[in-house]
């Protein structure tokens, strides 16, 4: 039996990171410009900029084949932790694929039932054939906060 030493970098909590992002640039700006007003102006500007960027109507440009690859990585569990969120939450420029994406997150996020996996397999197969599949909505899994068509 050997001794195993594994070093991990210290993990900062989310609020510490937010404070660093907001106030480190503000502190440096206030120091170099010799004006404490920057301690308020810079964090406010960062928040406004972040809200502006979040409100931009950016859409991904993907082909049906690329979209099928994203769905397949979710089906097999080979994707990164946030890949499914990107696939199901970020709007797609192609309106036909967007219609499919809008209905995906409602019933295929967990893949806890075999019928969900079969449905996702059929969607992937249809996308690979160049067809746009119909995604069924399961009433027991509808979210009251997502009423878009």
pLDDT tens-digit readout, 10-33:
667 878 888 899 999 999 999 999
- pLDDT confidence tier of residue 1, bands split at 50, 70 and 90: very low
The pair of three-digit structure tokens given for residue 30, joined into one six-digit string: 């206030």
* Alpha-carbon torsion (12, 16, 21, 26), positive or negative: negative
pLDDT at 43 over 90: yes
DSSP 93: S
d(CA 60, CA 85): 13
* pTM recorded for the entire structure: 0.58
d(CA 14, CA 18): 6
pLDDT tens-digit readout, 97-115:
888 888 776 566 677 778 8
pLDDT tens-digit readout, 52-69:
988 888 888 999 999 999
């Amino acid at each position: 039996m050997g001794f195993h030493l594994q070093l991990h970098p210290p993990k900062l909590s989310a609020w510490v990171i937010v404070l660093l992002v907001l106030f480190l640039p503000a502190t440096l700006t206030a120091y170099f410009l010799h004006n404490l007003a920057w301690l308020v102006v810079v964090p406010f500007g960062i928040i406004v900029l972040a809200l502006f960027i979040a409100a931009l109507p950016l859409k991904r440009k993907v082909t049906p084949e690329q979209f099928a690859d994203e769905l397949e990585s979710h089906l097999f569990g080979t994707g990164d932790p946030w890949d499914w969120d990107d696939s199901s939450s970020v709007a797609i420029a192609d309106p036909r694929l967007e219609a499919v994406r809008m209905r995906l997150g409602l019933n295929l996020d967990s893949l806890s039932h075999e019928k969900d996996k079969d449905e996702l397999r059929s969607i992937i197969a249809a996308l690979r054939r160049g067809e746009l599949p119909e995604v069924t909505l399961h009433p027991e899994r509808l979210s009251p906060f997502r009423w878009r068509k």
